[in-house]
């Protein structure tokens, strides 16, 4: 079993839909959870950063962590064509310092149709 599993998609939704993106993980030591957005031919950009369990909201984006189920989600409300990108989850056990211990999912490709 890989440490982080993420459905690669592709996921296609109509504009305005609520999108749910998910990752599961096996290492119970993970405490820091991130979502990155990557547009085609660009580097990943940090979208959401959460610590431990719970929810975090930023505009149309909500990140949710369920450590008991080892499951994290990213919800996008009122999705827009500009949200079309690949979304990568990432997680680590340790705070800051070297991020050489950051583990990435393989990414889910999202397409939002006008």
Interacting residues with another protein (CB under 8 A):
34, 36, 41-46, 49, 88, 90, 95-100, 102, 104-107
Q: How far is the CB of 41 from another protein (least distance, A)?
A: 8
Is 49 or 61 the residue whose CB approaches another protein more closely?
49
SS3 of 75-100: EECCCCHHHCEEEEEEEECCCCCCHH
Residue 105, Cβ density class (10 Å: 0-12 exposed, 13-18 middle, ≥19 buried): buried
Smallest gap, in angstroms, from Cβ of residue 18 to another protein? 25
The distance of closest approach from Cβ of residue 59 to another protein in the complex, given in angstroms and rounded to an integer, is 18
Half-sphere exposure of residue 41, counting CA atoms within 13 Å on the CB side? 0
- The phi and psi torsions of 95 (rounded to 5 degrees) equal -80, 135
CA–CA gap between residue 52 and residue 21 (Å, rounded): 18
- Closer CB to another protein, 21 or 79, in the complex: 21
Return the number of the residue (59 or 100) whose C-beta is nearest another protein. Answer: 100
Please identify, using beta-carbon distances, which residue of 40 and 68 lies nearer to another protein. Answer: 40
Minimum CB–partner distance for residue 31 and another protein (Å): 13
């Amino acid at each position: 079993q890989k440490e982080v599993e993420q459905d690669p998609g592709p996921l296609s939704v109509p504009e305005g839909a609520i999108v749910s993106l998910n990752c599961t993980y096996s290492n119970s030591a993970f405490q820091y959870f991130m979502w990155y957005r990557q547009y085609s031919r660009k580097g990943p950009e940090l979208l959401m950063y959460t610590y431990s369990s719970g929810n975090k909201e930023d505009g149309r984006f909500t990140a949710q962590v369920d450590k008991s189920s080892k499951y994290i989600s990213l919800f996008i409300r009122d999705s827009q064509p500009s949200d079309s990108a690949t979304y990568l989850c990432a997680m680590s056990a340790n705070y800051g310092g070297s991020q050489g211990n950051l583990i990435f999912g393989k990414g889910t490709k999202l397409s939002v149709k006008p």
